[in-house]
Amino acid sequence: MIHSLSLVLLLGFELSFYLLIIQTGIAEHFHSDLIALSPLFIGGVTGTLLSGYKWGVITNPIHKIIIALSLQSALSFLYPEYNAFMLFLLGASVGLMAPLSIYLFKEHQHYELLFALAIAYTIGTYAFTSLADHREWMAIIFSIAALISAGLLSDYIVGHDTLNKPTPLTSYLPLMLWILLDSNLFETLSRHQGIDIWNDKTYTIIIFHLLGLIGASLVKLSDKKQHLLISLLFTVSYTLSYLEWKLALAVVYPFTISYYNVIVFLTLSREVNLLRLSQLMVFIGWIASGLGLSLALSRVLH
């Protein structure tokens, strides 16, 4: 029971940190300047790649997580005034956490995953409209809460399904596309004053985030049909953003985010090789989201 609760809190608070501090807080503080934010991106890629290797005598993923969260916690006290070197270190700590936290979860722990995502999306949506430069206390609390949760997992052993076969690399291409589309639409909407759904429709967004998680856990489809369904959800989300139908967008888009993210996490959790997972996360996480951000800044959508 303690392991399940700790897994939920670890991922829930780390995702909250990513959503409110990395994805929106720091990006807004630096005005989404890709040059200024490049050390964060480079650090993220570096940390993600390093997570898959042995660190001398440190081979336990939990020990790596504790080191990463200790660094993240220390840097949180300095938020948001980071120089290039501190941005690199912060990116490295978050980059380390991305594959390591997914590696802890396996398909049979999907309820823990759902609760963790529910925490992140509820907190992330509720606090989204808070001033970016005033989130130091969030950075500190989220990091320390995740660090304490990781400490409670010190004797946790990652379970593997030995029957799992390596997933073909082509199966990950749709995941990259979804993250690119989400990153582009999210950044576009967050900058577009005419479609400010987070201020006006906060509770609607939270409800449909939660319904998306429930839907992903109940709907059992083949991989091909999942791809088609998620493609349809993104098509509707983009269409509603073009039409600027705020209420409909506040219903469909959060549902889409939650639904596809469950599929992404469950797909990645099948990887039993941490090194391969870390290499995949560079493309699925950093490169796909970076391209989405670049597209948004070029104002292709709006």
| Residues 150, 259: Cα–Cα separation, whole Å | 26
The string of pLDDT tens digits covering residues 34-62 is 899 999 999 999 999 999 888 888 888 89
The string of pLDDT tens digits covering residues 142-167 is 999 999 999 998 877 776 655 556 67
- Cβ neighbours of residue 137 under 8 Å, at least 6 residues apart? none
| Residues 123, 141: Cα–Cα separation, whole Å | 12
Average pLDDT rounded to a whole number, residues 29-34: 86
Residue reference for tokens 């700590």 = 93
User: pLDDT at position 255, please?
Assistant: 97
Average pLDDT rounded to a whole number, residues 295-300: 78
Considering only 108-117, 131-140, 198-207, 231-240, which range has the smallest mean pLDDT? 108-117
Average pLDDT rounded to a whole number, residues 71-79: 96
| Residues 222, 30: Cα–Cα separation, whole Å | 42
Nearest to 233 by CA among 160, 177, 297: 177
Specify the higher pLDDT residue, 167 or 199: 199
Q: Dmax of the chain from CA atoms?
A: 56
Nearest to 90 by CA among 17, 145, 146: 17
**Cβ-based neighbour number of residue 298 at 10 Å:** 9
Give the dihedral sign, CA 48/139/120/289.
negative
CA angle 287, 124, 148 (to 5 degrees): 90
Average pLDDT rounded to a whole number, residues 192-214: 89
How far CA 155 is from CA of 56, 158, 245, in Å, comes to 19, 10, 50
Q: What are phi and psi of 88, to 5 degrees?
A: -60, -45
Tell me if 39 sits within 8 A of 88, measured CB to CB.
Answer: yes
The string of pLDDT tens digits covering residues 231-261 is 999 999 999 999 989 999 999 999 999 999 9
User: pLDDT at position 301, please?
Assistant: 64
Question: What is the torsion angle, in degrees rounded to the nearest 10, for the CA atoms of residue 79, residue 265, residue 207 and residue 139?
Answer: -10
Question: Domains in the chain, start-ordered, CATH in brackets?
Answer: 2-151 (1.20.1250.20), 169-297 (no CATH)
What are the tokens at 104?
């802890």
Collapse the DSSP code of 222 into the 3-class scheme (helix H, G, I; strand E, B; otherwise coil) and give the result.
coil
Residue 229's pLDDT band (cuts 50, 70, 90): very high
CA 47 to chain centre: 15
**Cβ-based neighbour number of residue 195 at 10 Å:** 22
Residue 279's pLDDT band (cuts 50, 70, 90): very high
Collapse the DSSP code of 63 into the 3-class scheme (helix H, G, I; strand E, B; otherwise coil) and give the result.
helix
